[in-house]
Amino acid sequence: MTKEKSSFFERLTGAKNIQSNGFGEPLPVYTEDREEVISMREPTPAFATIRSEETWEATVPEERNDNDGAEGQLTIDVYQTENEIVIKSTIAGVKPEDLDVSINNDMVTIKGERKNEEEVENGNYYYQECYWGAFSRSVLLPVDVLPEKIDASLKNGILTIRLPKADTTKTKKIQVRGF
């Protein structure tokens, strides 16, 4: 019987390729470096959940004080087209009048507050994953934009901010004055 040379990975980990017995069941593999049997087990379903007291308590939120000064941070998408920079963010449950979008030099700041209209005691939640309270996000712009032409809209819970790019390729002739 000839001995096959182990791959670098096999030498590093001590694992061997698992052979099948032809019936869909893996054969145990004995390694020379380790005195143990390596076998495969059935994969766990991707959405399998375990219901136990420990996991149940892990989903119940801790008491949180909405007046602690901490702000939530928005998730955003920022991309460019040929003529503009576009910022998009999901801001469900926020009215346009509760949003503040501002630009200062090369930074756009989005601020607002998501108000929970219903008071629910923490002990009554099964899951509490939504953020309620003040939030903000500042975005450093990758190019110069025209602040006077910025457009912001809120439709179906999606905030879209369109920032037209400044044309920095134009050369402007400057007159030199003499004294």
Question: In what order do the strands lie in the sheet containing 76-80?
Answer: 76-80, 84-90, 158-164, 151-155
Position 73 pLDDT exceeds 50: yes
| Cα gap 85→78, rounded to integer Å | 7
Q: Express each pLDDT in 86-134 by its tens digit.
A: 999 999 889 999 999 999 988 999 999 988 888 888 888 888 888 888 9
> So what's the architecture of 72-164 in CATH?
Sandwich (2.60)
What are the start and end residues of each CATH 2.60.40.790 domain in the chain?
72-164
User: Which is more confidently placed, 61 or 23?
Assistant: 23
Q: Compute the distance between CA of residue 152 and CA of residue 162 in angstroms, rounded to an integer.
A: 6
